[in-house]
Amino acid sequence: MIRILQIILFFCFYVDLFAGTITAGTKQCPRIADAIALAKKGDTVLVSGGTYKESPIIVDKSIVLLGRQMPVLDGLKKHEIMIVTENDVTIEGFHFRNSGFSGYEDVAGLRLKQVRNVVVRYNHFTNTYFGVYGQHISNCHVLNNTFYSTAKDETLSGNGIHCWKSDSLLIKGNKVSGHRDGIYFEFVTKSHIEGNMSTGNVRYGLHFMFSNDDTYIGNSFVDNGAGVAVMYSKRVTMLRNRFLQNRGEASYGILLKDIADSYADGNFFEDNTVGIFMEGSSRIKFTQNQFTANGWAIRMQASCDDITMLRNNFKRNSFDIATNGSLVLNNIDHNYWDKYEGYDLNKDGLGDVPYRPTSLFSMISERNEAAMLLFRSAIVSIIDKAEKVLPGLTPEALKDNKPSMKPFNLK
């Protein structure tokens, strides 16, 4: 037993010898840049608590940069705070604050530039124009950070986590608020976004542009201009996310524009102006999602085709589904609708008559928004009842042939 302990101590001694630790914020090494200059590949630069005003800090070696007692890196509202230009770097335990601002240049608290295998975790970003900005990066992780800013206008603000022309990223466990977009992907592929809280952002909680083969799972998007926008992308998987209180004239839980071959399962939409807005989208499958107390659960434009909706719950929405055309090339089957007034004589749990989720008034309001002034009036109720008895204007093919009599138990 003693011999084993001696071997362990000997091993630890030599690991520490070859992978050294250099401390910044001391008399011998007052600046972080001084410590980085002394460091070798694989070393740890330990930064003592305090405030450092030496931005931009250039990390050009494969090192671990570790903050002790959350040291503050202050950009004085003039500079980019830190730039990483080498692979295999870890940044942990810092408070990035007061980056510079530019109307023509994307100034960031932390910029990752053409690198791979970089880990950014357990940091705070306060009043940074862009929080973490990644360009041409691969296999990088942004984990358990908090981003807070006070953006009021999307033209004068940046994104919390911004990734461009990158792949194989993991964005997990972050809290982002007060930015233009909480998380932004442009030309980003094969990446995973999980367990983030994005709230109070001016435009979108999460924004995809031209980004394929990505997954976002278990995130919460609350009180943003809109929850998530997926545009011009393919093979996006959306699982078990929460979309709450995204309200406004053009607010959605999810905006799907010109996307294809995607899948949404187990998501929860509540108290949004529109749960899902779809335009120009194809081959998307929605299963086991819940739509509760939204203005419109789904607004599906006539330009969408091959949309499948199966085993979803629709409860207390003002409108379940609205569309702007009569041609429907989609499959809506075996969902639960709380407005369904049919019957189940054979007791198989499915309605014996189809349910038409699109009301005549929703068709009218799609063409003339001013008609919403009549919403909940007696005349609207009469019009919709008459349309149910003698349907003539609502799309004939837009119906659920096997509506569930009971809501599904969705977790």
CATH number at residue 132: 2.160.20.10
Report yes or no on 398 lying in a domain: no
Q: Is there a domain that residue 399 lies in?
A: no
410, part of any domain: no
Residue 128 lies in a domain: yes
**Measured between alpha carbons, how far is 125 from 72 in angstroms, rounded to an integer?**
10
**CA 235 from centre of chain:** 16
Residues of the chain with pLDDT under 50: 1-2, 4-18, 390
pLDDT value of position 317: 95
pTM: 0.88
CB 142 within 8 A of CB 173: no
Let me know if residue 123 belongs to a domain.
Answer: yes
CA distance 358 to 367: 14
pLDDT of 358:
81
Contacts of 336 (CB under 8 A, 6+ apart): 312, 313, 314, 315, 403, 404, 405, 406, 407, 408
pLDDT, residue 25, reads 85
Distances (CA, A) of 18 to 14, 15, 67, 89: 6, 5, 21, 17
Q: What is the domain extent for residue 21?
A: 2-389
* Domain count along the chain: 1
CA distance 373 to 164: 43
Q: What does the block give as tokens for 287?
A: 């299963």
d(CA 182, CA 158): 9
